[in-house]
Amino acid sequence: MKGLIFAIERCSLHDGPGLRTTVFLKGCPLHCHWCHNPESQSSYPELYFLHEKCTLCGACVKACPKKCHSLSVSNHDINRVLCAACGCCVSACPNSALELKGNQMDVWEVLEEVEKDRDFYVESGGGMTISGGEPMMQYEFTAELLAQSKKRGLHNCIETSGFAPMERYLKIRDDVDIFLYDIKESDPKRHLKYTGVDNRQIMENLFEIDKMGSKSILRCPIIPGLNDRESHLEEIAKLAGKLKNIVEINVMPYHPMGKAKSGRIGKKQPHESNDFTENEKVEKWIGFIGVRTTVPVKKG
């Protein structure tokens, strides 16, 4: 069985306990304004353009069967509507200015890569994390990957927005050691506005997953100007208090890497800030949530 993968990151430190390998799946039902992996949203391969490497040599123009590339004296335009992500221009570009994001991989191929760092997992209590995108968009692949990984005795985490039918979570729960569960916004209206979907099902699923005894880490992106208000931070603490199996709360401060990447796939990030979040701010948020809950709060 094949899945559409856009990255496998080894020696990942921020996606669960220990040293891990994170497998990023392509496709997401949410479209968060601050998305830090905009190339993960579409369920199809996409052309990724690193303009600073382009010398306007024209190799891509010659290679492209659909005539997507057009060059001027100082500019390189890509017609994304015509582009079929065939990859012809990627192989032709001598400067590696073009890449294709999204690669079909078999479960065993992914696991072969994951297995390479087994020694590091054993020593550090790490393992594999499936992230995205939303892994549940490729539910069958995800389920198979988790099952095969568990069979090999690896520790599994899955990072999810929670936006998927509950029965799917029920089916994978035995193969998941920790859910990394995103809490993006506590106010339903704002949730809809910032992510494009309603948060009712997300909340229901979270309580269900908690009830069935699975461990979760709450992953909370905090975006200055959007959801850094005290009432939302307070809600996060309250939520953790209502649940039994939350092992950690991760505060994930906004960074502009996603914005930079969105330009490379010809998109425009709705949240346009160029600023990294200052550490003092992050510490303040962590402190604020920390005094309102018994669950450890960490920077994610």
Partner 1 sequence: MLDIKKSGVNKTALSPFVAQAVEFTQAYKEHKDDHVAIREAMCLKAQYPAILRDLRPEDTIAGRRPEDIIVYFGTIWWHWYPEWRKGVETAGKQGGYCVNFSAAKNCAKNDAERKALKKVLDFWEDECSQSKIRKIWDDELKNSFLGGASTGFCMSMDFDRLLKRGVPGLIEDIIARKSQVKKKGGDEGFLDGLLIMLDVFKDTCLHYRRQAENLAKSAKSAKDRKRLEETARILEAITVRAPQSFREAVQLLWLYLLMGSGKHIEPGRLDIFLGDFYANDLDKGTITEEEAMELILSLWSVINENGEPAVSRVVLGGKGRRNEKNADRFAMAALEATRRFKNVKPQLTFRFYEGQDPKLFSKALDVVGENGVFPMFYNDDTNVPGASKSLGVSLEEAVRYHPLGCGEYMLAWCSPSLLDSAWSVPKSFLAALHDGKTCDGHKVGPGTGAVETFDTFEKLYSAFKKQIDYAMELSSRIYKGICVGHQKHNAFLFASLLSDDCLGRGRAMFDGGIRYLGGCEMGHGFTNAADSLTAIKKIVYGEKKLSLTELVKILDNNFEGREDVRKMLLNAPKFGNDDKEADGMLADMWKYINKSAKLAGKKRGLDFLVVSSVNPGGYGMGKDCGATADGRRKGEPFAIGMAPTAGFDKKGLTAMFNSVAKVDPAHGGATTNVKLSREFFTAERAKMEMLFKVYFKKGGMQANVTVVNKDDLQAALKEPEKYSHVMVRLGGWSARFIDLEPMIQEEIIRRTLY
Residues that bind partner 1 (CB under 8 A): 9-13, 18-19, 57, 59, 92-96, 116-117, 119-120, 123-124, 299
Local structure of residue 52 (DSSP, 8 states): G
For the bound state, the minimum distance from the C-beta of residue 13 to partner 1, rounded and expressed in Å, comes to: 5
Report the candidate in 244, 243, 232 with the shortest Cα–Cα distance to residue 203.
243
Please say which residue, 8 or 203, places its beta carbon nearer to partner 1: 8
For the bound state, the minimum distance from the C-beta of residue 85 to partner 1, rounded and expressed in Å, comes to: 19
Tokens of 186: 């506590």
Please say which residue, 18 or 29, places its beta carbon nearer to partner 1: 18
Q: What are phi and psi of 92, to 5 degrees?
A: -80, -30
Please say which residue, 117 or 185, places its beta carbon nearer to partner 1: 117
- CA angle, residues 142, 144, 150, in degrees to nearest 5: 100
Tokens of 188: 């339903």
CA 44 to chain centre: 15
CB 24 within 8 A of CB 40: yes
Please say which residue, 99 or 234, places its beta carbon nearer to partner 1: 99
Please say which residue, 94 or 241, places its beta carbon nearer to partner 1: 94
Calpha distance 170→164 (Å, rounded): 11
CB 26 within 8 A of CB 4: yes
For the bound state, the minimum distance from the C-beta of residue 268 to partner 1, rounded and expressed in Å, comes to: 26
For the bound state, the minimum distance from the C-beta of residue 63 to partner 1, rounded and expressed in Å, comes to: 11
For the bound state, the minimum distance from the C-beta of residue 242 to partner 1, rounded and expressed in Å, comes to: 28
